[in-house]
């Protein structure tokens, strides 16, 4: 069910596990939105404050659009696993480690009760789910230049961590498409402000005065999310040397 009066809200990286968020919304689906917030926040039963805040945001939008929040029903929702948030935690005496937060991407719809109850046919519950269209993988991962490209990427250093992107586990695949190097990469977070810096380093290593390809492309991949388990043995040792607890 979808109408012009629906309030649709999509929020990414809500810090709640996928299973918990889905169970919480399933408990209140079809209920009055205002009372749903109260249930998720105060009970009875299991509460879920992160999901309550998403509903709060939707109710704020409804009020801004001139709708009575007490007349709205949580009519549909979609919950998908979100990109994990990995942050560096600095400790005393130069020590550091990572904090990993599991997240969910949540979409909800609020519908006026009268429209909700008069609907004869409802859309599937996952009506908001949109699967990303994968980019065709036409590059050659067995190309003879791949080993040299990989070697050059050892010279690309994460400015914050001081370790190369290969040993950090950021490089997930390498191939060659015609005369273009294609590098599948990830980072600790899609919001990492240093992505451009590392991309410039890749350009220097692959296209500089002694360049080995005509161009390069980085295909960013955020699922599965990067975790410290992606580090190589050398990467772990290098991070331990600068104070990381791994």
Domain ranges of the chain: 7-118, 146-241
Please write the tens of the pLDDT for every residue from 143-170.
999 999 999 999 999 998 899 999 999 9
Alpha-carbon distance of 192 to 183, in angstroms, equals 18
Radius of gyration of the chain (CA): 23
pLDDT for residue 67: 87
- Ranges of the chain whose pLDDT falls below 70: 1-5, 89-94, 97, 119-138, 191
pLDDT for residue 244: 83
Class of domain 146-241: alpha beta
pTM as predicted: 0.54
pLDDT for residue 197: 92
Q: Which residue has the tokens 């990109």?
A: 83
Q: C-alpha angle with apex 242: 240 to 246, nearest 5 degrees?
A: 25
pLDDT for residue 107: 92
Class of domain 7-118: alpha beta
pLDDT for residue 209: 86
Alpha-carbon distance of 45 to 41, in angstroms, equals 10
């Amino acid at each position: 069910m979808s109408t012009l009066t629906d309030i649709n809200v999509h929020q990414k990286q809500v810090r709640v596990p996928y299973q918990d968020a889905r169970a919480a919304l399933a408990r209140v689906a079809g209920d009055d939105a205002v009372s749903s917030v109260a249930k998720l926040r105060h009970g009875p039963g299991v509460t879920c404050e992160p999901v309550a805040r998403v509903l709060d945001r939707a109710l704020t939008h409804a009020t801004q659009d001139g709708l009575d929040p007490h007349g709205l029903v949580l009519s549909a929702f979609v919950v998908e696993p979100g990109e994990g948030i990995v942050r560096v935690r600095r400790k005393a005496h130069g020590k550091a480690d990572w904090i990993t937060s599991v997240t969910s991407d949540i979409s909800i719809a609020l519908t006026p009760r009268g429209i909700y109850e008069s609907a004869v046919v409802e859309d599937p519950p996952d009506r908001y789910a949109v699967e990303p269209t994968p980019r065709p993988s036409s590059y050659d991962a067995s190309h003879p230049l791949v080993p040299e490209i990989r070697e050059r990427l050892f010279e690309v250093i994460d400015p914050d961590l001081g370790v190369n992107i290969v040993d950090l586990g950021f490089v997930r695949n390498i191939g060659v498409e015609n005369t273009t190097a294609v590098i599948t990469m990830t980072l600790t977070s899609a919001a990492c402000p240093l992505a451009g810096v590392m991309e410039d380093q890749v350009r220097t290593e692959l296209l500089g005065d002694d360049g080995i390809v005509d161009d390069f492309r980085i295909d960013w991949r955020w699922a599965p999310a990067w975790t410290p388990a992606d580090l190589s043995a050398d990467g772990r040792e290098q991070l331990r040397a600068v104070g990381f607890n791994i």
